[in-house]
A = this chain, B = another copy of it.
């Protein structure tokens, strides 16, 4: 049920995003390319949190497409040689490999802009300003970009990060957008965001711990990008700091926390509970 819903929401959000990318100009093709793949977890969280709050799909598609645009922009920039320097993403050449660095800069820039434009659509209604404002906080200097800056700084630091620092880094780099995605449905409905905030905060951290576990245990072909990179680079991760078994235990605890936070929604939130269990069981 979760897998079907994940695929359906990812496909719908991607189609919505692609319809918003103009055919005009040199950036059309790389913008589509940069947003063509991925699991679509963030879009799923927006769509599913919207559904359990009684929000229509036609409204939820705007923030779902917007968060996938922001996520894609962050990957395109993060993969650049001056950042994480990755040649492979979702099993395909990264944008700067297939085109060039200038294209990667501009595609990322245009995708960020597009995300904010999508959130201004009339269909989004009263929630437009709260969604834009919270997305800006999640993506900006104290959110995702803060996490990326900490990540870059860690690469040249004298000593590896400690657990508090890694937690702060990941709360920004991956946590902030995942939390926004979960909260978006409640914001669309004008409802209390606290349960979805607690759910998606725990989910985001579990997701990152699982990512670190995949970097150690995963298979490059399945993961679709290089593995073992962090360990080879001597970077601190949840696995290097906690040990593999304790990291797995911590991820499971976080999934339990995430599921508990959904109690106000009863059975209606079962797909979100499945999603939480999925993030620590996935192979990519």
Contacts and interface: CB of A to CB of B under 8 A. Distances in A.
A209 interface: no
Interface string A74-86: 0001001011000
A82 B100 CA distance: 8
A132 B120 contact: yes
A119 B109 CA distance: 18
A185 to B, nearest CB: 20
Copies of this chain, count? 2
Contacts of A106: 77, 145, 148-149, 152
Contacts of A220: none
A141 B129 CA distance: 22
Interface string A109-137: 11011101101100000001100110011
Contacts of A140: 110, 113-114, 117
B25 A149 contact: yes
A139 interface: yes
A146 interface: yes
A259 to B, nearest CB: 32
30 contacts: A21-B141, A22-B141, A22-B142, A24-B141, A25-B142, A25-B149, A26-B153, A27-B141, A31-B141, A73-B109, A77-B106, A77-B109, A80-B105, A82-B102, A83-B102, A106-B145, A106-B148, A106-B152, A108-B109, A110-B141, A112-B112, A112-B113, A113-B139, A113-B140, A113-B141, A114-B140, A116-B132, A117-B133, A120-B129, A120-B132
Interface of A: 21-22, 24-28, 31, 73, 77, 80, 82-83, 100-103, 105-106, 108-110, 112-114, 116-117, 119-120, 128-129, 132-133, 136-137, 139-142, 145-146, 148-150, 152-153
